[in-house]
Amino acid sequence: MTSLHELPTPALVVDLDRLERNIARMAGAFAAAGVALRPHAKTSKCLDVVQRQLAAGAGGMTCSTPAEVAWLRAAGVADLLWAHAPVGPAKVAFVVDIASDGGGLTVALDSLEAAAPLSAAAAAAGVTVPFVLEVNTGHARLGVEPGRVVETATAIAALPALRLRGLLTHEGHLATMPDRASLEEAGRTAGARLAELADALRAAGHAIDVVSVGSTPGATSAPFAPGVTEGRPGTYVYYDANQIRLGSCTLDDCALTVLGRVVSVQRPGRAIIDAGIKAMSSDTIAAAGSVGLVCDLSGALRPSVAFAEANEEHGFLLDEGSERLAVGDLVRLVPNHACGTTNMWSHLYAVRGTEVVARWEISARY
């Protein structure tokens, strides 16, 4: 068995005790409410993590990319939702190939223009592709506006070789709320709005069995609005510094860290580490000028040390405390966004305490 002290740095590290607790807690909350849990695989891109989520009760997985879909299908995960628009010849052909090979994939669409090429290709191949209509409930990314849901769903469902299953939203705008109470209220509103729109589709004659919401900030609110059938949180499996700032978790819930080592202390109050943006990612969403949170080897916060900036392979730590960092010291860095950090790595080390118990592969990266 190896200890953290012996790992080459930088290294991506997952605390198994925290990981398992996060998985069990979310699965338990959804099961108690009778809502299906469909975690987003983009956070971990790791089969060892996905298998634990499925074993805890997840009914299927959510994917962002064709690579994630192909990876999980090859691993035997039969129920997948691709929460992205399959636009362009390559993505259309990919979906039709899966439908021709036994299916198990539902796609997301938000316009007739996006749906028409998929319909034509599926009809030519003699297969049917199930889809959910994505709705904008405030984030204004993908998604038809609520007032156009019935007409858009009806128009797409009238195309050959496509089958409407329901509605989907990503309530990403919750991350912009000024406080946790406002965030929770916005989550409940997004879930309730989606459920109302599902009822409107049923009244228009459509069979709707999926009403799907998805975000970790909203995982305590949106999925539990009456009429919502499933939630798709992703980051909860690891959590991160952004989720701490949003009140979704505490530092003790953060399972993912980057292990870095101090390599230079030439200037007072500044320590240089061997973990930069290629270890952490440069995601600064809600980061408040920080590359990540700095912790000691046990995972406890070092409040006097700030991860102020980073180059590709170097991190700049500003140490304002009396106990200065020294060359060779190890730090554990909680990333701002776990999903972006995961995509920087090809493998991670699973640990209990400071003991390394396994090396896990990370798949389906760009």
Per DSSP, the residues of 111-148 read -HHHHHHHHHHHHHHT--EEEEEEB-SSS-SS-B-GGG
pLDDT in tens, 105-121: 999 999 999 999 999 99
Domain assignment present for residue 99? The answer is yes
Q: The domain spanning residue 323 has which CATH number?
A: 2.40.37.20
Which uninterrupted H or E stretch holds 200?
helix 180-203
Are 26 and 100 contained in the same domain?
yes
Give yes or no for residue 310 having a pLDDT over 60. yes
Are 74 and 148 contained in the same domain?
yes
Q: The domain spanning residue 99 has which CATH number?
A: 3.20.20.10
pLDDT attached to residue 282: 79
Domain assignment present for residue 307? The answer is yes
What percentage of the chain reaches a pLDDT higher than 90?
95
Report cis status (omega within 30 of 0) of the bond before 10: yes
Are 132 and 40 contained in the same domain?
yes
Report the candidate in 323, 317, 226 with the shortest Cα–Cα distance to residue 264: 317
pLDDT in tens, 257-279: 999 999 999 999 999 999 999 99
Domain that holds residue 144: 16-238
The answer to whether 255 and 235 are in contact (CB under 8 A) is no
Domain assignment present for residue 44? The answer is yes
The per-residue pLDDT of the chain, averaged, comes to 96
CB atoms within 10 A of CB 90: 9
pLDDT in tens, 165-221: 999 999 999 999 999 999 999 999 999 999 999 999 999 999 999 999 999 999 999
Are 181 and 305 contained in the same domain?
no
Confidence band (pLDDT; 50, 70, 90) for 314?
very high
pLDDT attached to residue 321: 76
pLDDT in tens, 72-104: 999 999 999 999 999 999 999 999 999 999 999
Are 161 and 309 contained in the same domain?
no
Domain assignment present for residue 366? The answer is no
pTM of the model: 0.96
Are 74 and 212 contained in the same domain?
yes
Residue 89, SS3 per DSSP:
helix
Report the candidate in 162, 151, 152, 149 with the shortest Cα–Cα distance to residue 211: 149
Domain count, the chain: 2
